[in-house]
A and B are shown apart, each in its own frame.
Chain A
Amino acid sequence: MKKIILITVLMVGSLFAQVSKPIEVPYIAYTIKKAKGVDTLQANCLMCHSFGYVINQGAQPRLFWDKKVDKMITHFKAPITKADKKTIVDYLFKNYGNGKLK
């Protein structure tokens, strides 16, 4: 009897919770460097993805970061003001830059 019950459970349900209660995806803190402008990134860059995306790019020229933030604004419609954009690019170049302008 027990066996039969087990089989039906396996057939109807899935192994896990996503069918009966929400599944939980762990939160990972991808920390970025604490420096001038970090608050502006905190406010503008976490809406759509984690900082993992930023750290993963490695050290890059200023133009790279400028274009990246532009991509977020034009293609993905990130609501970022001109002033914030400058603060963000300055921050990224200073902390995740390779010293080259382009």
Chain B
Amino acid sequence: MKRRDFFKTSIVASAAILGSNLSAGTTHLPKMNRKVSEIPFPEKRAMITYSDRPPLLEAPRSIFTRGITENDQFFVRWHLPDIPTQIDLDSYTIKVSGLVEKELNVTLKELKNDYEQVEVTAVLQCGGNSRSAFTPIPGGIQWGSGAMGCAKWKGVRLSDILNRAGLKKNAHWIGFNGLDKPAYFKTPDFVRELELTELDENVIIAYQMNDEDLPYLNGFPLRLVLPGYYSDSWVKMLSNITVTDKYQPLFFMDKGYRIADNKTEGETPKHLAKKTKPITTMDVKSIIGYPEENMKVYHNSELVVRGVAFDDGTGIDKVMVSTDEGKTWDEALLKQENGRYSFTEFRFGFKPTKYGTVKIMAKAINRLGVAQRFAKDIPWNRGGYKYNGIDVVTVKVV
């Protein structure tokens, strides 16, 4: 190649890179190679630790071979640093007020004794899970795919509590607040609001997770559980439920956890969508728990690929696995025993017959036929929400 030709092509190449960075926004696989920290947090094993104040802990990939996530490896995400470090179980109450016939102050004892006790197994996933898949980087923590988990939650139905308080005719919005507070009095508090129509029988106020008390860092003693929804509204250390007729403008509702209100839910850094909407229910997604990136596997060995898949409760129909760059796909075996809101476990037997690098890909398809797409086809968005690209793990066959 002549020197001048070389220059020409490199200019074109760098223009392409610049162009894609500045105007388009690109999506790729999230960063999954972060190491767990040396310091474990209370009631947790050592996890990937982004911050101590407020605590932000991510689970490593390896835990996603199992349909239930252990409490001590369940991810942790708080927004505000001032979290009570001591809870008096006798005086702890949830206050139900606003447009109700009768204000309630429900104690933990009443909650456990005076209401029907119910259980639901459901996936809890941060709306920003896998955010590190987007370039240029959107605001917020650059999570890999471990800001999620699945647990069996036990508690009482929100609707039972609201019925006992008695909703007034004009009740329309329900606000949820927990005990965590900002460090500075002017910083907005983290309050969530949901429309009454979004709250069905499955929404519970939980005090147990996998038959144990909620871990402190997961919202002890009580948190809201909204099966099928991203975790932004699963308020922790729940203390106040306020019923209103009108939406109350709040920073974390108006600015956080929103996505472009258009068909693709995408936008570009240069042309941000004018209209946005809350992120609400979860898109179909799967993660390979084993093997992990860069692992060596023996030629002709019997490798079992394992992972989990889930969606918003529609239910997983199939998980397809490819070992030839996505040219052909085979169906994995599924284990579904915890209901439609839980992780579906998948496993796939793979005998590597060629030496060298192999990419293992997993694609979940739900009962409506909605399938995961390749990372590059997931539209960029400024908040880095709802990434659900086909997972890829590269192994070396030796």
Show the binding face of A for B, using Cβ within 8 Å. 14-16, 18-28, 30, 47-50, 52-53, 56-58, 60, 64, 68, 71, 75-79
Residues of B within 8 A of A14 (CB): 89, 213, 220-221
Q: What total of A-B pairs shows CB separation below 8 Å?
A: 98
Contact (Cβ within 8 A) B255 A48: no
* B50 in the interface (beta carbon within 8 A): yes
User: Closest approach, in angstroms, between the C-beta of B3 and any C-beta of chain A?
Assistant: 26
Show the binding face of B for A, using Cβ within 8 Å. 37, 39-43, 49-56, 80-81, 83, 85-89, 136-137, 139, 141-142, 182-184, 186-188, 212-213, 216-217, 220-221, 251, 255
Contact (Cβ within 8 A) B213 A15: yes
User: Closest approach, in angstroms, between the C-beta of A25 and any C-beta of chain B?
Assistant: 6
Contact (Cβ within 8 A) B86 A25: no
User: Closest approach, in angstroms, between the C-beta of B126 and any C-beta of chain A?
Assistant: 14
Task: Assess A56 versus B142: contact at CB under 8 Å? Given A18-B85, A47-B183.
Answer: yes
The A contact surface, by secondary structure, is: loop
Contact (Cβ within 8 A) A79 B137: no
Contact (Cβ within 8 A) A16 B184: no
Contact (Cβ within 8 A) B216 A52: no
Task: Assess A16 versus B139: contact at CB under 8 Å? Given A23-B216, A50-B51.
Answer: no
The chain A residue sitting closest to B85, CB to CB, is A22
Residues of B within 8 A of A79 (CB): 184, 186
User: Closest approach, in angstroms, between the C-beta of B221 and any C-beta of chain A?
Assistant: 8
List 12 extra interface pairs beyond A18-B220, A25-B52, CB under 8 A: A14-B213, A14-B221, A16-B43, A19-B89, A21-B86, A23-B86, A25-B83, A49-B51, A50-B53, A52-B49, A52-B50, A68-B139
Taken together as a complex, chains A and B put the C-alpha atoms of A23 and B141 apart, in Å, by 25
The chain B residue sitting closest to A46, CB to CB, is B53
